[in-house]
Amino acid sequence: MPLGANKAAIMGTAGVSTADVVLLAQNSDVTDVASIEFTSGITSTYGEYIFRFYNMNPESSGVNWEFQCSTDGGSNYNVTITTTAIKAYHHENDTAASLDYAGGGADLAQATTYQTLLNSIGTLADNSCAGELHLFNPASTTYVKHFYSCGTGYQDSPTVINTRTAGYFNTTSAINAINFRFSSGNTNGLVKMWGVK
């Protein structure tokens, strides 16, 4: 997670500076946009990129918060991806709760579609989702690109959900753009991108 000035205190001071975690970009707490993308700043300068999303609220009910990457600066978001995911949920009225393997679009096998991070988010005033995604060595031209994500959301049920997703982009081409969106309709919310040395 982006520790900033707290990194030295938490991890010790040897060789650590606040410049190790740098806020590179953020959208301006958008309203009514189809997606949020970062098409610059993802380079070999940093070995890890952290994306945090805050209060993402969809305009269509029961939609999935998802992402995909690009190797051509955002012209196409269709990199081959393999993933796995688990989810925990609890209904607001306490009628059901569970910890499950998350299939059905949350686990992809050599797919070029968008990866679901949180599913079935609702549209009420208090519905939204939040979390973070870590992408490792996206500029590598030797290895695949690993990532993991953790997020929580308020589903349209109403239910709280926590999903943990991990996987890799099966490409040795450099990833240089990323796109976040809901599976249908526009989005509102804030996404920030950090670089970690």
Specify if 84 maps to a domain: yes
pLDDT for position 11: 44
The residue range of the domain holding 125 is 20-196
Instruction: Name residue, tokens 């939204």.
Output: 128
pTM of the model: 0.90
Percent share of the chain, pLDDT over 70: 91
Maximum separation of any 2 CA atoms in the chain, in Å? 51
CATH number of the domain encompassing residue 96:
2.60.120
Specify if 13 maps to a domain: no
Percent share of the chain, pLDDT over 90: 80
pLDDT(16) > 50: no
**Among 172, 180, 167, which residue's Cα sits nearest to residue 108?**
167
Q: How many domains does the chain have?
A: 1
pLDDT tens profile 111-123: 999 999 999 999 8
Pick the range with the lowest mean pLDDT from 28-37, 70-79, 150-159.
28-37
Helix (H) or strand (E) holding 11: helix 7-11
**Among 106, 105, 121, which residue's Cα sits nearest to residue 157?**
121
Give the chain's radius of gyration (CA, Å): 17
On whether the CB atoms of residues 141 and 172 are closer than 8 A, the answer is: yes
Specify if 1 maps to a domain: no
pLDDT for position 76: 98
Q: Is 85 exposed, middle or buried (0-12, 13-18, 19+ CB in 10 A)?
A: buried
Specify if 6 maps to a domain: no
pLDDT tens profile 155-189: 988 899 999 999 999 999 999 999 999 999 999 99
The rounded distance, in Å, linking the Cα atoms of 113 and 169 is 11
Specify if 14 maps to a domain: no
Mean pLDDT of 148-157: 94
Specify if 5 maps to a domain: no
Cβ neighbour number for residue 141 with a 10 Å cutoff: 9
The rounded distance, in Å, linking the Cα atoms of 156 and 44 is 40
The rounded distance, in Å, linking the Cα atoms of 125 and 114 is 26
pLDDT for position 94: 95
Specify if 162 maps to a domain: yes
Q: Is 15 exposed, middle or buried (0-12, 13-18, 19+ CB in 10 A)?
A: exposed
The rounded distance, in Å, linking the Cα atoms of 4 and 131 is 17
pLDDT for position 162: 97
Specify if 4 maps to a domain: no
